[in-house]
Chain A
């Protein structure tokens, strides 16, 4: 009985154990084809950017086209050099040679030259038309001479066979001939000479016309003559694109460079003027010397072919340039008022057909001054649809600002219709805090700023719809833009940016 009972207990235990194990196994196998994968959405924190961008490194890499200059002391200055205008002989019509008709009543004639007080004129073009009529017949030749017109050491002399009809005409090229005046007159001689006997006879009707004369060299007294170049202008787009409350530059300097190869004294009476785009406000650039005229250097007669350079420097001490810049002009118009021989004095100068007066400008603007509330705004086309793998996130931005500026910014996320989806910050936040500057305006202690922004899942869900980003920044120089600061090549900005993102890969 006892043995039978033991068997029964053992049997029950074994059966129960075996069935339990088998049932457990079956249950698992049954469900293995219905396993739901988990949603993996880790939240990662990564440093994205950790860098220092110095002005020096940036200049090493960026081709500024020479616009930026570094002084020996490390100060920065903007340089601008350009050619503004060139006046040639044709732009300088102080002397033009008129046609000169000559009727010979006798065999010799002396006529005054239409322009007085000239010593020499070398022609690069021009001709002499000659007509005669006579009743002569036989072996005669016509003789024509201009005693004041020279070429290769000889005066102008022509012998023509007399036309059998007794009348004739001829045209002579005067290119290369030089008038050499002794008394502001030109002497003509014309007659017929018998080829056998040598007897001379005055022609009944002889006339000449000096026409189309232009000179390659003119020497003598250049008269008073006021002129200017054609007005041209520079549009300062930068001031169109930005808005700024005030702008001041500590020591801007403009230098106008006149390169003159005219052998004539020229006086400058005006340079440039600045105006708003609508032209309603125009401020001429004043200079202490402009009122009385500024004389340009010119080559002397012994220096034909050379040029003389005159520099006129405009700075804050001798001009109103700081006022002009502060007015943020949108158009700079340059038209140079000039007077040749301003005093009208008799003097001996020259003009050649290659003489020119070119004007260039060299601007040097040390990056020292103050800017208040310079507003930069731009809209970029972007597509953030790929951000749909991010569920939430944020970033942390740390700036260490050793540039003498401060900046606040806001970034707006817009949909394809330009409707506002969200903004990066609740309110515009300071990206760059103001550094401490010294008495000279240079940065002494960098400003540091830490910004943290978190995007909740709800906010992040809108970002993939972003198709445009509008960035608005307001920049002032350090200290609120009220005191001048100085930009130096050693200035730099440290940027550290870390992000957190809960992603759903």
Chain B
């Protein structure tokens, strides 16, 4: 038993030592009934113990859908050096590529089960970063526009960086084979920078390569001040309490077909934050068209000043900076799954997951198996199809040392074993006390 603990600690240390954690919601958590944090996947999950206290836990997640470290940094043949392979990375990219980071700190939570009812309260802080860019943007930067003559290329990146506190309460009610649960959360927005509208396209005419940039772009900020469109000077002053308020709700159910099979479904983070505190909206709209220098006009003006030319070009793009409120939606997720327990200590599961965010859908499909290795250790594996990759092998491990529950879970073991080839990494570490 002692050796198991030692090697478990080594493994956990190895995971931690990689130090990089980013996340969409991890999928393995859904299959960890002994971790109260699984309420974040389905609020209808009821805990084994009467009282569960979740102590501060960290939840990190990162995604670069465009390319992996190994895609862009390759060994140079015949040398012991690495070369930056931009073309290789671009080749791997999809039409739209996403970089996401997320860091959640679950500060404290308590769940109390009384008979068929479970009540919980919790609080935490979340930081979410999202950046998407069309493949054409790096293509333009790297190859230039000569290869895209007579094409209209989307070039607008979309982004959102948000941080917020959440304080919430949950309720689970069991009636026969059915458990229904909900969680309601009050949100305090700490800061936000996001693109409201993100439309921009560049067209290179086949005639003499005239350039036309169509722009309809909006940047929204709250607390985080970017200065102005003319003088970018970002500043951020952390305030634990702000005037940005929001609400979100989770709703879930679990139905036990029999003693071995359970079906579940949930909707998580259906909500929004109204950003009103130091909120600003920067809007640029118009068309920038550069058709070449009108040398006759320059000739008439006696002198040529490139700044004058540029000013006249950008004069067709109207910019506006206003103080105003805006609303952002949370990344809403749905989980539809089931588990089958052929024996009491073994659970096989399947899950369809989908996240709706920034107008895009991020689906995943997961199968899992977890085994209670005695009363202390529960270990599980997941295999998921996500972001068009099929090599997402995950693992989760839960140690129950008396009232102490220590657990770790990741959906991407390969990101630790083969970090250079991974495009996604996530990790959750948690510590609970159960009675």
Contacts and interface: CB of A to CB of B under 8 A. Distances in A.
Interface of A: 6-7, 10-11, 14-15, 17-18, 20-22, 24-25, 28, 31-32, 34-38, 40, 42-54, 57-58, 60-61, 396, 398, 495-500, 502
A57 B84 contact: no
B83 A48 contact: no
Contacts of A32: 82
B51 to A, nearest CB: 31
A20 B8 CA distance: 15
B167 interface: no
B208 A496 contact: yes
B293 A50 contact: yes
B388 interface: no
B292 A497 contact: yes
B290 interface: yes
B149 to A, nearest CB: 6
19 contacts: A11-B7, A15-B10, A24-B417, A25-B18, A28-B419, A34-B81, A35-B84, A42-B144, A43-B144, A45-B146, A46-B211, A47-B205, A47-B290, A47-B292, A48-B293, A49-B292, A51-B292, A499-B209, A502-B146
B239 interface: no
A49 B207 CA distance: 12
B73 interface: yes
A21 B14 contact: yes
Contacts of B417: 17, 20-21, 24
Contacts of A54: 296
Nearest to B205: A47
Contacts of A28: 69, 419-420
Nearest to B413: A17
B335 interface: no
A279 B211 CA distance: 59
A502 B144 contact: yes
A52 B299 CA distance: 11
B142 interface: yes
Given A25-B18, A31-B80, 6 more contacts: A10-B4, A34-B82, A42-B141, A50-B291, A54-B296, A398-B208
A38 B207 contact: no
Contacts of B81: 31, 34-36
Nearest to B298: A51
B146 A43 contact: yes
Contacts of A497: 208, 292
Interface in B98-144: 141-144
A498 B82 contact: no
A36 B76 contact: yes
A495 B11 CA distance: 70
Contacts of A57: 296, 299-300
A36 B83 contact: yes
B416 interface: yes
A53 B75 CA distance: 56
B145 interface: yes
A50 B292 contact: yes
Interface in B64-83: 69, 73, 75-76, 79-83
A500 B143 CA distance: 12
Nearest to B415: A21
Nearest to A496: B208
Contact of B14 (A22, A43, A46, A53): A22
Contacts of B294: 50-51
Contacts of A15: 7, 10
Interface in B404-420: 413, 416-420
Contacts of A61: 299-300
A38 B146 contact: no
B230 interface: no
B360 interface: no
Interface centre among B80, B147, B296 (most CB of A within 10 A): B296
Nearest to A396: B208
A11 B3 contact: yes
A7 B4 contact: yes
A466 B69 CA distance: 44
Across the A-B interface, give the 6 residue pairs with the lowest CB-CB distance, nearest first: A498-B208, A50-B292, A42-B144, A47-B292, A45-B209, A43-B146
A25 B210 contact: no
B327 to A, nearest CB: 40
B306 interface: no
B142 A7 contact: no
Nearest to B293: A49
B209 A35 contact: no
A24 B17 contact: no
B211 A47 contact: yes
B86 interface: yes
A17 B11 contact: yes
Nearest to B84: A38
Interface in B295-309: 295-297, 299-300
A245 B153 CA distance: 52
A326 to B, nearest CB: 34
A47 B313 CA distance: 14
Contacts of B18: 21, 25
B3 A45 contact: no
Contacts of A22: 14, 17
Contact of A36 (B82, B210, B297, B416): B82
Contacts of A31: 75, 80-82
Contact of B147 (A24, A43, A51): A43
B373 interface: yes
Nearest to B141: A42
A496 B156 CA distance: 29
Nearest to B73: A35
B131 to A, nearest CB: 22
Contacts of B293: 48-51
B209 A38 contact: no
Contact of B85 (A18, A38, A50, A495): A38
A46 B204 CA distance: 8
Given A43-B144, A43-B146, A49-B292, A24 B208 contact: no
Contacts of A53: 295-296, 299
B84 A37 contact: yes
A37 B85 CA distance: 9
Given A20-B417, A28-B420, A42-B144, A47 B83 contact: no
B144 A6 contact: no
A361 B246 CA distance: 91
Contacts of B84: 35-38
B143 A35 contact: no
Contact of B210 (A7, A37, A43, A498): A498
A18 B204 contact: no
Nearest to B379: A10
Given A28-B420, A396-B209, A500-B146, A48 B11 contact: no
A435 B73 CA distance: 58
B162 to A, nearest CB: 31
Nearest to B148: A45
A42 B142 contact: yes
B347 to A, nearest CB: 19
Nearest to A48: B292
Given A36-B76, A51-B296, A18 B14 contact: yes
Contact of B297 (A21, A45, A51): A51
Interface centre among B7, B85, B290 (most CB of A within 10 A): B7
B209 A46 contact: yes
